[in-house]
Structure 1
Amino acid sequence: MELDREHAAALDWTRIAEGPDPVAVGIVERMGYAQGLSAVKSGKGLSQREMDARERWLGRLAKLRPFEYECLDKLGIWLLIPSDQEWPAGLDYLGNNRPLALWARGDVSALSQPALAVVGSRDCTRYGARIASNVGYEFASKGIVIVSGGAFGIDGHAHRGALAADGRTVLVSAAGVDRVYPSSHESLYKEVVAGKGAVISESPVGAAPHRFRFLARNRIIAALGLATVVVEAPFKSGALSTARHAMEIGREVAAFPGPIDAPTSVGCNELIRHGATLVTSHTQIAELIEPIGVNPLADDAFFSPATDGSDQVTRRLIDALPKHGGAQLADVARIAGVSMPEAMEGMAKLKGQGKVSYTDGRWKLAGEISLPRRYCE
């Protein structure tokens, strides 16, 4: 694989700087990757703050060996920078804390699709494993990419739930994309890459999974997801770090509650206490990411964006109906903000589809959405 001048320079930036590095990102944004790297080597054109940061890059620059580009084709590795079409737009919300570049294996188109981050304890319970698998399955089957860290416990179950649905999942690694950590997850990595998903990292090929890289990659997981769901987490947990990053950039954070005396649920309960949304089903999670077109009231409309004006009217009519009992048509029309003729036509359409019913002069939903059996077993 041949890289242009900017991508080649970006590759070297990831080899000398560790993320998040706002000074390095600032240089790149001002000068570009190639010119910025030349400035670091020469020491010319840098501010005092950048000169101070340069000292920590020079040690690696001095020992930087020529990169063997043939390994990119051999291993099917991509290098993405913000100008690339596949660059995840969500990362830009990190500002100067964004990754300098992304290394990736697999189908990089998964990075531009709507995604949900699912994280939690490595030492999860059977309850947590079941919930993580179900959430991964439900959302992946509806076209949402499941993002997690590939670790033991909740991460692994969320990835496998998505794979079981023949859906997409993105594994954000704390090591180079050519390395598997934990090593026992080799089959999981292979399934993700072989399927419609991707393994990504801001660290270069060959990078070891050091502790600080686990903490750094949490911001990437948070930024990739439209929302972050914490299934189980102890009080001190990388999952809580991910949740904090999500909150800092304005992302929705949800948590499944657990027993107050269960160590694996203390973190989730604390998150809820401090503002995270309590969720107990995938439909409640769907409400947090509704702007992408979610309609949690019916599976066949779960991710069906409106294609014409009448579809928008019927969706608004459904939203205007009370969760329990019924309402007169005039009240539904008023709440939905549509005219009476539009309401009459829309309700007739919904009644024909079996989504609403009309009894004793009142309209109501034809049935309540119940939690799938998998959640309750």
Structure 2
Amino acid sequence: MSLSSSSSLQAWLTLSFLDGVGPRTMARLLQNYPSPADVLAADLLALQSLGLRPATLNVIQRYQQGDVVLSRRLDAVHQWLERPGCQVLCLDSADYPALLRRIPDPPPILYLQGDARLLHDPQLAMVGSRHPGPHGAATARQFARSFTENGLLITSGMALGIDGACHQGALDAGGQTIAVWGTGLDNCYPKRHRALASAIVEQGGLLVSEQPPDAFAQPGQFPRRNRIISGLSLGTLVVEAAMNSGSLITARLALEQNREVFAMPGSIHSVHARGSHQLLREGAHLVETISDVLEVLRLPLLAAIDSASANRPETAPAAPRSPLWPHLGHVPVSVDWLGQRSEMPVERVMQELMDLELEGLVQHTSHGYSRLI
């Protein structure tokens, strides 16, 4: 899609580039003018009567007089659109996702890289702490994989910690995932997730941003990004969140958008669970298994309803024979604590833990030793 082939697209992009014209201001303008092109051609006195700030009026005036910087920005988007898999969706497009269009402040422009058809698939937003506890990332990855296997598309923000684990879980299942960025799609943030971004696109997924491709990270862009994550989705699942977590912003936005909110409980001793517990106190759906989400969203439990699996007797796996196993749980504990509880010398405890790690049954973190999920 090129700018020269669509004057309407060029007008949408131009209006979105003007300082002071955010989603809410643009919505107000389009309530009074038929299209962005009409806004850009409007008399400044008429625009002033709509309550626009002087700074915004000055920007529109500069555009009407010819703005070289703006022309360069449009040319840069034109070049970006020539790349394979890159496209732009405007708010008036028939392909704009219906759920996102319903939120109070839908982004006027969506920059996309990958399979845009995924925007219309049933999605679950999964978010959480950038600094999860010892089991947070593993739990997020496992649940994301299971949701993907059961027909839900996972949408998240590709941040460090829980977000990245959710995207990876979807990829583990051989499925697709949507990553909503707070930066432009030419500036991966965090940089260490460049390989993850490439894997998402290569596996048929989608990268989404409301920022122009060359936009760098700015603090205010990430809370705004969160409304897109929740707005695209049927519900938002908070895997792990402290009280000051940005994930709580996403959950609040989901409530404002009349979407379902889910939260996983955690240890009462963990600061990483306090935000999730607050959501549960406020009425979020408690999640222990994927069926807790699928039933609320009224989606078919593809794996659970398989009659052969449902009627197959389950055999509980044999517990490891290690004398430490009864004293290990999912909350990390120290070597000294294990020695006291098992009445074993430290040297024997260390050997037993090493054997359990080699068998893939135990993990060692900075918090201590615990069973693997």
Residue 129 of structure 1 aligns to a residue in which SS?
helix
Query: Distance in 1 between the 2:228 and 2:196 partners?
Result: 20
Partner of 1:35: 38
Q: Where do residues 9-20 of structure 1 align in structure 2 (5 Å cutoff)?
A: 9-17=11-19
State the shift of 1:369 in Å. 9.6
Partner of 1:70: 79
* Structure 2 counterpart of 1:295, from 289, 294, 300: 300
State the shift of 1:301 in Å. 4.3
Q: Where do residues 1-377 of structure 1 align in structure 2 (5 Å cutoff)?
A: 1-3=1-3, 4-17=6-19, 21-29=23-31, 30-39=33-42, 42-43=43-44, 45-46=46-47, 48-52=49-53, 55=56, 58=59, 61=63, 62=67, 63-66=69-72, 67-68=74-75, 69-74=78-83, 76-95=85-104, 97-290=105-298, 294-296=299-301, 299=303, 301=305, 366=311, 377=373
1:218-255 deviation digits (Å, cap 9, x = unpaired): 11111111010000011011100000000011100000
State the shift of 1:22 in Å. 1.0
Query: Distance in 1 between the 2:20 and 2:266 partners?
Result: 36
Check 1:208–1:85 CA distance in 2 against 1; reply closer, same or farther (3 A cut).
same
Query: Distance in 1 between the 2:290 and 2:115 partners?
Result: 26
Query: Distance in 2 between the 1:48 and 1:133 partners?
Result: 52
Check 1:268–1:45 CA distance in 2 against 1; reply closer, same or farther (3 A cut).
same
1:9–1:33 CA contact under 8 A, matched in 2? yes
1:172–1:200 CA contact under 8 A, matched in 2? yes
State the shift of 1:366 in Å. 4.8
Query: Distance in 2 between the 1:33 and 1:153 partners?
Result: 39
Q: What are the ranges of 5 or more consecutive residues in structure 1 without an aligned counterpart? A: 303-352, 356-364
State the shift of 1:53 in Å. 7.0
State the shift of 1:160 in Å. 0.5
% identical equivalent positions: 32
Check 1:369–1:94 CA distance in 2 against 1; reply closer, same or farther (3 A cut).
farther
State the shift of 1:14 in Å. 2.7
Check 1:277–1:193 CA distance in 2 against 1; reply closer, same or farther (3 A cut).
same
Query: Distance in 1 between the 2:233 and 2:265 partners?
Result: 20
| Structure 2 counterpart of 1:253, one-letter code | V
State the shift of 1:75 in Å. 5.8
Structure 1: which 4+ aligned runs deviate by more than 6 Å? 367-372
State the shift of 1:101 in Å. 1.1
| Structure 2 counterpart of 1:192, one-letter code | I
1:173–1:200 CA contact under 8 A, matched in 2? yes
Residue 171 of structure 1 aligns to a residue in which SS?
strand
Query: Distance in 1 between the 2:210 and 2:250 partners?
Result: 16
Q: What are the ranges of 5 or more consecutive residues in structure 2 without an aligned counterpart? A: 318-360, 362-370
**What value does the CA root-mean-square deviation take over the aligned residues?**
2.9
Residue 231 of structure 1 aligns to a residue in which SS?
strand
State the shift of 1:54 in Å. 6.1
Question: Structure 1 residues 98-107 or 84-93, which shifts more?
Answer: 84-93
Check 1:371–1:270 CA distance in 2 against 1; reply closer, same or farther (3 A cut).
farther
Check 1:86–1:21 CA distance in 2 against 1; reply closer, same or farther (3 A cut).
closer
1:121–1:233 CA contact under 8 A, matched in 2? yes
Query: Distance in 1 between the 2:313 and 2:292 partners?
Result: 14
State the shift of 1:26 in Å. 2.5
State the shift of 1:196 in Å. 1.5
With normalisation by structure 1, the TM-score equals: 0.75
Check 1:16–1:234 CA distance in 2 against 1; reply closer, same or farther (3 A cut).
same
With normalisation by structure 2, the TM-score equals: 0.76
Check 1:370–1:244 CA distance in 2 against 1; reply closer, same or farther (3 A cut).
farther
Residue 178 of structure 2 aligns to a residue in which SS?
strand
Query: Distance in 1 between the 2:47 and 2:159 partners?
Result: 39
Query: Distance in 2 between the 1:370 and 1:295 partners?
Result: 25
State the shift of 1:266 in Å. 0.7
Q: How many residues align?
A: 310
Residue 126 of structure 1 aligns to a residue in which SS?
coil
| Structure 2 counterpart of 1:43, one-letter code | L
Check 1:185–1:5 CA distance in 2 against 1; reply closer, same or farther (3 A cut).
same
1:227–1:288 CA contact under 8 A, matched in 2? no
Query: Distance in 2 between the 1:125 and 1:65 partners?
Result: 47
